[in-house]
Amino acid sequence: MVKLTYRFLEAPFRDDAINSVRKVFQEDLGKSVLYRVFANFKSTDGKWYGLFPLVYDTGAIITLLPSRIFDLLRVGKYATAALRGISPKPELKVRLCKLTLKLQDENRNQSPELSVWTAIAFRDDVPFVLGMKDLATKHSLNTDFKNMRFSLDF
């Protein structure tokens, strides 16, 4: 078994949300906690690229990457689609493809190679998100909020 260990990333909420909550509730909204992981991606010619930081998102069905990754990995075969989030609009135009990745933690421990369906946006202003498609059944997630750590066991 391979165990990858990460630290939670604290991220502030947007100023408009902070100010609105403060005005209505007279409370500080505090910070958000993100599960941040790192991945290397394999190009079609067998070269590895990375490390890229991704948000590990248990609510995301599919992995999402910005447009610049498409040319970097020399993706050849893909299907076009439109993704939606919680709200039906706006849609995000993407290229669906199968990519190979390896997750890596801060101690350079690596997961096995993982083949995952990925949506590569036609735009560059999207976040790097690690979704659950093809990944959820290959590992277990363990959280330790007290020590601000989490691990992925493969």
How many domains, in total, are found in the chain?
1
Which tokens hold the place of 126?
């999207």
Query: What's the whole-model pTM score?
Result: 0.91
- CATH number, domain of 57, equals 2.40.70.10
> Which pLDDT belongs to residue 86?
77
| Rounded Cα–Cα distance for residues 41 and 50 (Å) | 6
Helix (H, G, I), strand (E, B) or coil at 71: helix
Which among 104, 100, 103 has a CA at the least distance from the CA of 114? Answer: 100
Range of the domain at 124: 3-153
Beta carbons of 29 and 22 less than 8 angstroms apart: yes
> Which pLDDT belongs to residue 85?
82
Per-position pLDDT tens, the chain of length 154: 999 999 999 999 999 999 999 999 999 999 999 999 999 999 999 999 999 999 999 999 999 999 999 999 999 999 999 998 877 778 999 999 999 999 999 999 999 999 999 999 999 999 999 999 999 999 999 999 999 999 999 9
